A and B are shown apart, each in its own frame.
Chain A
């Protein structure tokens, strides 16, 4: 328990961590209460096309007379969902594979490490691109594919954690007591070693949001949802006389990704207070 309160205190004492948390809560409220906050439905079309920001339409309207503000508000739902599901899956796979690889060692570990290294060297975006293009434009696929291709950095972190934890006394005692390797991995190693993966996951949420935006911008996003990337893609052809239609969805993408970078940094500082003393605070 002490560890947790200390952790929370250290997290909140970092300037970026606190800012990130507040921004995240604001973003979450926006996504959860989208129907209340948005003055219109995101898909409502009207005759009021490409009108600049005004009292009726705070962010203006797009080429079909849809309210840009309402679409931006609803878009937060897609971005946050993609971010959390993709990064969550990536963390889950990374933690399990990293822990197994680090604990078992030997040839298994060597093979896994080689795969991790190769993945980390290859630009995964192109792998995601080809899979989505080939198997279909569907939000569930997109989230799965991002999760399935970004786990190696988590696995690398978890592997290193496992290597150091498995030499600790409480693991040795558990082994001497005859606990099975699976039990040791899931009840001792993972619960004690997963925190750095969590910090990395915050960064990966931002990465997943950018990946979804890029796919949507290329026309490979889910056609049935309102996403910021798709709004930018739609607005491309008329941006020179309707700047608002392209500026606002982009600004919200940036704010969201910055939020998760801040949170990731806050978590890093709370985890490694010594290291971060001199880092950006």
Chain B
């Protein structure tokens, strides 16, 4: 560990902490500026009696000034208390916990596949430069980039689930059959396929384009000219030097995608009725479960920050120059 690296890393950690504080502060104030009194919403009644509202406000500290509530919220977070959902009458982590794995199984799988396939296709396309294949791939990447994820999901359901019946239309397990052991895993994978495929197609163009542009840029660098002048074969030059340098932007994107992965598939989860974090988040929005929303946003910010720091470390290892920045 050299000094530069430590300095670089500590700066990144500082901005990660700032991000978390900024995100939860913005969200806290947006939510509390919202029209409609949380205590009234909590009762679920059109015209609740003032006594009920009083009691609820006292119970949850909503009668205190906003700044006091904010400070209380922050100190609770520091103590590891994520918050409490009024609507479900349960601590937030109890609601969030069971949702984490289903969501990550979609998002992480799709991101890894998109990273691998996207960079592979970009390398392939750069070898086909100015040929039909390159143009075709680039056109496909434009179209996928413009695709609303929810619509793509619905179309895939229409074709592969409703018409061809290759995959189930929704859910995580077959509710009619109660499989155990290995069969259960297979059933899970069967249900997992379409949502992962949808997200893969949505994420693919980002990896493809970034790597493609980076390869093109790298091929114009001086070191390429020098090395090919020295007599290294194009093939070796490409595999040994250009590839390694060109993949760095895709690694950054991969880190960002992983950061977003905790809620990244919200719309796709809705389409496939997948019981994940995204669904929980959207339900919380519609039910005005503001405390639960704050907890999810906090978790999202932490996830993004950690992914960012890890990405920075990986990048610094791959490309030592960035430590000097």
A contacts, CB < 8 Å to B: 114-115, 117-118, 121-123, 126-127, 129-131, 133-135, 206, 210, 213-214, 217-218, 229, 232, 236, 239-240, 243, 246-247, 250, 253-258, 261-262, 278-280
Contacts and interface: CB of A to CB of B under 8 A. Distances in A.
B250 interface: no
Contact of A240 (B22, B148, B158): B158
Contacts of B76: none
B19 A239 contact: no
B31 A253 contact: no
B154 A239 contact: yes
- Chain B interface extent, by class: 35 or more
Given A114-B15, A236-B154, A240-B162, A131 B30 contact: yes
Nearest to B159: A243
A246 B271 CA distance: 13
A247 B31 CA distance: 36
Contact of A254 (B143, B163, B212, B293): B143
21 contacts: A117-B15, A117-B19, A126-B281, A129-B285, A130-B31, A134-B30, A206-B146, A213-B148, A214-B150, A218-B282, A232-B151, A236-B154, A239-B154, A239-B158, A240-B163, A246-B155, A253-B146, A256-B146, A257-B146, A262-B142, A280-B134
A239 to B, nearest CB: 6
B270 interface: yes
Interface in B286-325: 286, 288, 293, 297, 300-301, 304, 308
Query: Most chain-A CB neighbours within 10 Å: which of B146, B256, B308?
Result: B146
Given A250-B148, A253-B151, A257-B146, A118 B285 contact: no
Contacts of A280: 134-135, 138, 212
B112 interface: no
Q: What 5 pairs across the A-B complex have the smallest Cβ distances?
A: A257-B146, A134-B34, A250-B151, A240-B162, A258-B146
Name which of B35, B216, B256, B288 has the most chain A CB atoms within 10 A of its CB. Answer: B216
A253 B302 CA distance: 34
Interface in B82-138: 134-135, 138
A130 B19 contact: no
B308 A121 contact: yes
Given A218-B270, A278-B220, A126 B263 contact: yes
B27 interface: yes
B148 A214 contact: yes
A264 to B, nearest CB: 11
Interface of B: 15, 18-19, 22-23, 26-27, 30-31, 34-35, 134-135, 138, 142-143, 145-151, 154-155, 158, 162-163, 212-213, 216, 219-220, 256, 259-260, 263-264, 266-267, 270, 281-282, 285-286, 288, 293, 297, 300-301, 304, 308
A118 B143 contact: no
Given A250-B155, A280-B138, A121 B26 contact: no
Nearest to A131: B30
B25 to A, nearest CB: 11
B34 A135 contact: yes
A239 B157 CA distance: 10
B27 to A, nearest CB: 7
A121 B19 contact: yes
A262 B146 CA distance: 11
A256 B146 CA distance: 8
A135 B23 contact: no
Contacts of B304: 121-123
Contact of A133 (B148, B213, B270, B286): B286
Contacts of B154: 232, 236, 239, 246, 250
A123 B300 contact: yes
Given A247-B155, A278-B216, A217 B267 contact: yes
A256 B110 CA distance: 26
A236 B148 CA distance: 14
Kindly name the residue among A133, A246, A247 whose own CB sees the greatest number of chain B CB atoms within 10 A.
Answer: A133
B158 A246 contact: yes
A118 B17 CA distance: 10
Given A126-B263, A127-B26, A254-B147, A243 B158 contact: yes
A117 B11 CA distance: 13
Contacts of A250: 148, 151, 154-155
A136 B148 CA distance: 23
Given A123-B300, A135-B35, A261-B142, 14 more contacts: A114-B15, A118-B19, A122-B301, A217-B151, A236-B154, A250-B148, A250-B155, A253-B148, A254-B143, A258-B142, A258-B143, A262-B142, A278-B216, A280-B212
Contacts of B219: 278
Contacts of A261: 142, 145-146
Nearest to B285: A133
A163 B111 CA distance: 36
